Every structure is written in structure tokens, then in C-alpha cells.
Structure 1
């Protein structure tokens, strides 16, 4: 047991004087960044495969919407708790090995999902997938902290966050095409194959830290005296930071709107607007494609043109997200290009919000040696909200279902749409309260006492 735990400890620094071969350092850093980002996109495929399969399971009377909601929520609850626990662990771990184990487990779970239709078994193994999925994001953020300086963090965090949208796009195009062509089981098995590809990328190209490759740390250690807090102490200090909890609540509500589209969007379009599975999945994939643009540019723009201040941008993108979600839900059927436009702006704004609310603004106000824990706190709130939203969505859909005389089902989405839009709008309000709190607690000029023990940059 001890040897197993030691295998996941952070890789030790290589002995000898640090190398100054900057060309090799840049190659290693790019290899680590690209393999980490691409494999995290494949984590997403292993997470979202269930969403593409949902309509087939309902239409074939294999599972009901309430059962789908319960199964889907198992992933979110396990992911929420796992993201907190594994975020704390990632700060101390060999992130390469940690991430490999998570993706291997997730690939195995997807293979198993295609072999049974028993609701209890599906709930248990999909919950296990939630825990496995939580072993991906923490290592990625810790790796970014190890390989990039403060001045680069926003830019490369934004580029890495493209993986979210890339994974969504891959799922709603590739997995959907396989499901339509060969059946729902093959959607899970394609996700399994993609997970194994991601595992190979991590194994061959990702490195744990510059020190483990013979280089010096990218920035000097954070200043503290001998009596100062350890990494665990800094992690625990985050729990007392009201700003982080406001940000977590904003992200929690934003995730309800996010998974309203990526988890139930195909089902909504098929039953509210009469799209078929492939055309509905294609529309939802637009969010992933434009999410890549929103995510990739958000960190870069906020670093280059706003000096790392992201509050105002987060609120603007939050309002754009609410408006586009409203258009998607309430524009009548038969307006394909309006639906496509709504998905475009939803993707752009959600991509930026995933970067800002989903982690970057939390790491901005946290100690760099506790970045995994900060992301874990955001994660448990975000996916706790997503889990609650998943259950409520399934229940509201089932309660709004009318069975017609010919046996077909008519779904009513009015109440559900109001719930989704309200969550998105309140998220913007929480972001505004976060910005107001930070502004009041910003260290005053002229050398007066700072409100936070560490510099705050938003």
C-alpha cells in the first residue's frame, strides 16, 4: 500500500545542477501542454457520451427521463466531491500518473455502460465515472502552475480550457454519428477507444514538473517564514475566503445552464422543435466549436488588454450567456438559423465563463501552491449544482409529459426553461457580488495594510 501511494507522489527533482537548455525546456513544456489538453478533451468524450445516448434510451423505452436524471446526477455528485478531494491531492501528486489512472477508469466505465440497461448498475458505474473524471482537471491546473509563470497563467489557462469545448464538439459529432449509424452501445465503445488514445498521449508526452526533468522551477517559491502555513495550511485557508465561495456559487448556477444544453439539449431539440438526433447533435456541437474561440481568447484578452482583471468581462459574458440560452429555449420551432445563432453565442459566452468562473478567477486569488484545492472548491459547487439540476430536469420533464391516445408522448418545457434561464441570470448577480467584494477588499494605496495576506489580482 505504501509503495502504491509513493508511486503517486510528485516526481522528485532530478539530481545535479539545473539545466539551462531552454530549447529542450520549451519542447518539453509544449509536449506537456498539448498532451494534457488533448487528453483532457478526451476525458470529456468519456463524460458526455451518456448525453448523446439519452434520446435513444427513451425512444426505445429502455429508461425514463427520471431514471436518466438519476443516473446522470450520480456522475455529477461523485464528480463534485471528487473534484474537491482530488484537487487537494493533486497539489501533492505526480500529476501525470494521477491523470492516467483517472482516464483509464473512465474508459473502462464507458465500455461497461454499453453492456447493461439495469438502472441500479448504470447509476453505480456512472457514479464511478464521476470520480474518475475528477482526476483530470486538478492535475491539469496544477501542471499549469508548475510549468507557467503568473504572467502567462491566464493566457495558457484559456488555451487549455479549449479542451472543454473540443471534447464537447467531438462528442456531439463523432459519438452522435456512431449512435445513429450502429446503435447506442457503439457510442459508449467509441468513447472507450478515445479514452485509451488520451491515455497514450499522457504516457508518452506529459511530464510532471520542470524539476523532474532537470530544470529549475519556473518562478521563485512563494515567500513565507518558517512559521508560515504549509501547502495544506494554505489549502485550508481557502475555506475561509468569502470571495471564493461567492465565485463558487456563481459557477454553480452557471453550470446548471451549461448542462441544460449539453446534457439535455439534444433531447429538448428532438421533442420541442422536432429535430432528429443527428441534426440536434449538430446544433449542440456548435456550442463546442464556438466555445473553443471564447475560451481560447478569454484568458489572452484579459491578460493582454485588461491586465488580468476579469470581473467586468465575466459579467458581460454572463449576460450574453443568459440572452442566448433564452433565445434557444423560447424561439419557436422551424427557425434553424436562429437556433444555430443562439448556440453560437451560447458557446462563445460559455467558453469564456468556463475559463473565468470555472477556475481562472479562483486561482487568481489563491496561493499558487494551493491552485488544485481552489479549483476543487469551485468544482464541488459547480457539479453539485449540475447534479441538482440534472435531477430536477428529469423530474420536471416527466411531470410535464402527456401520453397521447396513440401511445406517443408530448413534452412541456415551459417551467423547465424558466428554471434554466433563472439559474443563469442569478449566476451573473453572484459574479457582480464577487466583484463588489473584491473591490472593497483590494489593498489600499500608500503602503497601508492589505486586506488579504497575499496579493490579489482579478
Structure 2
């Protein structure tokens, strides 16, 4: 049964260059589009809890219980993303990603008819395991269909999927809750994603070699890069990832990114409701700007880094980490009753996050590793990133419960310590990236030398 997931055997190469170009173009467009839409809906399947916290508390759940439920999913994602990342380097991505979406959709549909804490805890954990089948395999697919020099740009394009899903959740889910109650926020999107999973399977692809096509590096004329890739096995490439100290430093930074990112997505709405007294729809509309601007930031992240920062992804990350820090400080300390100013600060934070997520979330590590170990690099980053995400749910829930007071029978939540926790995570995330400037400098010099040699080889071939 497990062999069904393995990548297809390498087929005899197609010799017609016109056919090769046509097949590459079609597979790239269809594959990336399917992954953007499909992985965007992955986020709808995981973000619902962040929007419905207040009505769930009113239904009898406590903040601590909601923190435990959220952490259960994120722990499953952390472990599953690591394992699925290493597995994805050997598998047919077309079969992994749609199954993950299908499983998550079925879990959400079932939860739409439940109100029990233990059922939510168990099934939200299962949801997390299915969620772990999305990100790392998608990046493996990108690395299979785009050359090393193109990967940063298309990684950024793909990353808008996060924000399509988050934006749809903040706005669409809030409207569903207001119209039909909080249970509808689970089962309605669940039905839609069951259908989408089958559409995703139809339009995704295995690696190019399984269709008789050359590798992406060969197709783009990056001969030396492809030669280096063929010199090592998948196992050796994955071991290099584990032994690389810079990968682990990036992973620690990703832990802080997971804390900051999921603190805002999971607790931002209730923060605006309780601390700044906004309605659910207003709070959801404000928070929807974060993924909207994040999508813009992600889409242009590769272009910004390549054109403005001369492909120095580490420096790009530091600059936009500072932007995130400014945005979250402004968001936390803007006085209540100023929704337009809150929108400004969350937009600044979201744009910075969109750029950062591409690099700290995987591109910095992937850039330092072989294509054959793309999944391993993403899995390692994912393990610590979602470990941080799980920790924040527990910590935020406990901090919120610990800081509550009861005045005239009304429960009031205080967020001062929570805000410091969020800000500190962003600051530490940015600081941890600084040492990778040196690793990137060495890698950049190697890439420049390879590019020059490839150009010389192409000239000789043409001559």
C-alpha cells in the first residue's frame, strides 16, 4: 500500500524540444495553481478555531481548553511535517497533498456537529496530522519543477496560498458564524474542501522525470547545479541537512516565527474583541488585512530579495523582521477605538510577515541544501516552527486565564503580559537570523561561480 505513494519510475526522455517546453509550461501552470488554491483551503481547515473562540467560550469552553485544543493540532503538525518532509523527497507529491486536504475536510465536517471538549481535542490533533501533509510536499514539488535559481521567486508566488486561506477564514468564517452559528464555520468549509481535494489531485503532477522530461535544472540550462545534485543520494543530502548548524539556527528563528504568527492568527480576533471592544465582524475584518498584505508581501518577496537585496535572503529577512516588530508594537499599543490605525499596523505586520514567512519558513534552509533534501529541510524547519506555534497556544491560553478578573459578575481579560510575549518573539526571531548572513555569503559566491561556468559551457556548446 505504501508503495503507491512512491514517485514514478524515470521514463525515457522525450527528444522533441517543443513538446518538452509545452509539457513543462502546462505542468507548471496547472500544478502551481492547484497547490495555491488547495493549500489555501488547508488554512481554512486549520484557522477556524482562531475566529470562533469567543462564541465557543460562551458555549462553555475555557481559554485554557481552547489553548490545549489548538496546541494539539500544532504538535501534530510539527511532528508530522518533519516526518512527511523527509518522506516527500521520495514520494509522488500528487498523491500526498490532496489526501491531506481530504482528511482535514472530513475532520472539520465532523466537528461541525460536536460540542465536546475531548472530541475537539482528539479530532483537532488528527486534523493537524493531515495538515502536515501540505506545506513540505508542496515545496518539494516546486523544487522538482523549478530550477535552483528560480525557486525563491516561485516559492514567493506559492506562499500567497497561506494568505488566501487566512483571509477567507477571517472574513468568510466570521460571516458564517454571524449568520448560522459557530458550528457552521466547521462543516460548511469541510464540504467544499472534500470536493476541492479531488480537483487538486486531477491537476497536480509527479516529478518531471516520471513523464520523460528533463530535470528543472537541465531544462533551464543549469548544468553544473544538476551535476552536483546527481553526485549525492537522497539519503546523503538529507544527512547534510541534519548536520548543517545554520539550518538549526534558522529553525530556532522559525520557532519564534511560529509563536508570533500563530499568536496573532489564533488570538488576534479575541484580543480585539476583549481588549479593544470590537465586534466579531469588525475584529475579523481588521485581522483579515494581515493575510491580505501578507499575500502581497509573499508574492513580491522573491523579487524584493533578488532585485533590491541582490539575492541576500538573510538580509531581506532581517529588514522585514524589523518591519514586523514595528507593526506588532503599534498594533498592541494603539488605543482602543481606533480601527483605522489598527488596520494600518496590522497591514505593516502582515506585509513583513509575508516576506519573512517565505525565508524563515523554509527558503533560507532550502537555499543551503540540495534539491534532493528539500523536504528534509522543510521538515526540520517545520518541526521547530510548529513546536513554537503549539507552545504559544498553551502559553497564550494560560496567560489569558491567569490575567482575568471578575467585576460585577463580568469576566475581564487583561493582555499586558501577552503583548510582551508577542513582541519578544518577533524581536528574538530577527536576532537569530543575523549569523546566517555569513552562510548566505558563501552560498552566493558558489552560485555566482556556477552561473558563470554554465554560461561558458553554453557558449562552447553553441559554438
Instruction: Please confirm whether the aligned pair reaches a TM-score higher than 0.5, indicating the same fold.
Output: yes
C-alpha distance in structure 1 between counterparts of 2:192 and 2:420, whole Å: 36
C-alpha distance in structure 2 between counterparts of 1:388 and 1:346, whole Å: 21
C-alpha distance in structure 2 between counterparts of 1:225 and 1:85, whole Å: 22
Q: Are the counterparts in 1 of residues 321 and 430 from structure 2 also a CA contact under 8 Å? A: yes
Task: Tell me the equivalent position of 2:69.
Answer: 71
Task: Tell me the equivalent position of 2:306.
Answer: 303
Task: Tell me the equivalent position of 2:88.
Answer: 90
Q: Deviations over 1:387-436 (max 9, x none)?
A: 11110000000001112223x21011001111110111011110113324
Task: Tell me the equivalent position of 1:119.
Answer: 117
C-alpha distance in structure 2 between counterparts of 1:250 and 1:388, whole Å: 14
C-alpha distance in structure 1 between counterparts of 2:116 and 2:314, whole Å: 46
C-alpha distance in structure 2 between counterparts of 1:267 and 1:273, whole Å: 9
Closer, same or farther in 2 for the Cα pair 1:276/1:238, shift >3 Å? same
Q: Are the counterparts in 1 of residues 100 and 130 from structure 2 also a CA contact under 8 Å? A: yes
Displacement, 1:438?
4.8
Q: Are the counterparts in 1 of residues 208 and 215 from structure 2 also a CA contact under 8 Å? A: yes
Q: TM-score, normalised by structure 1?
A: 0.92
Q: Are the counterparts in 2 of residues 18 and 216 from structure 1 also a CA contact under 8 Å? A: no
Task: Tell me the equivalent position of 1:455.
Answer: none
Task: Tell me the equivalent position of 1:34.
Answer: 33
Q: CA RMSD in A?
A: 2.0
Q: Are residues 1:168 and 2:172 paired?
A: no
Q: Are the counterparts in 1 of residues 240 and 369 from structure 2 also a CA contact under 8 Å? A: no
Q: Are the counterparts in 2 of residues 41 and 163 from structure 1 also a CA contact under 8 Å? A: yes
Displacement, 1:199?
0.7
Q: Deviations over 1:34-82 (max 9, x none)?
A: 111111101111111121121110123x200000000000011110011
Task: Tell me the equivalent position of 2:461.
Answer: none
Task: Tell me the equivalent position of 1:274.
Answer: 277
Aligned pairs for 1:58-457 within 5 A: 58-60=57-59, 62-220=60-218, 222-223=226-227, 229-406=232-409, 408-436=410-438, 438-439=440-441
Q: Deviations over 1:118-140 (max 9, x none)?
A: 22221111011111001011211
Displacement, 1:33?
1.0
Task: Tell me the equivalent position of 2:11.
Answer: 14
SS in 2 for 1:409: strand
SS in 2 for 1:117: coil
Q: Are the counterparts in 2 of residues 234 and 370 from structure 1 also a CA contact under 8 Å? A: yes
Closer, same or farther in 2 for the Cα pair 1:115/1:82, shift >3 Å? same
Displacement, 1:306?
3.4
Displacement, 1:232?
1.6
Task: Tell me the equivalent position of 2:452.
Answer: none
Q: TM-score, normalised by structure 2?
A: 0.91
Between Structure 1 and Structure 2, the one with more helix by share is 2
SS in 2 for 1:275: coil
C-alpha distance in structure 1 between counterparts of 2:15 and 2:283, whole Å: 54
Q: Are the counterparts in 1 of residues 258 and 387 from structure 2 also a CA contact under 8 Å? A: no
C-alpha distance in structure 2 between counterparts of 1:147 and 1:430, whole Å: 31
SS in 2 for 1:260: helix
C-alpha distance in structure 1 between counterparts of 2:211 and 2:428, whole Å: 46
Structure 2: tracts of 5 or more residues without a match: 219-224, 450-463
C-alpha distance in structure 2 between counterparts of 1:225 and 1:405, whole Å: 68
Displacement, 1:443?
6.8
C-alpha distance in structure 2 between counterparts of 1:45 and 1:439, whole Å: 38
C-alpha distance in structure 1 between counterparts of 2:151 and 2:440, whole Å: 20
C-alpha distance in structure 1 between counterparts of 2:140 and 2:439, whole Å: 27
Q: Are the counterparts in 2 of residues 51 and 263 from structure 1 also a CA contact under 8 Å? A: yes
C-alpha distance in structure 1 between counterparts of 2:204 and 2:25, whole Å: 13
Runs of 4 or more off by more than 4 Å in structure 1? 436-445
Displacement, 1:12?
2.3
SS in 1 for 2:412: strand
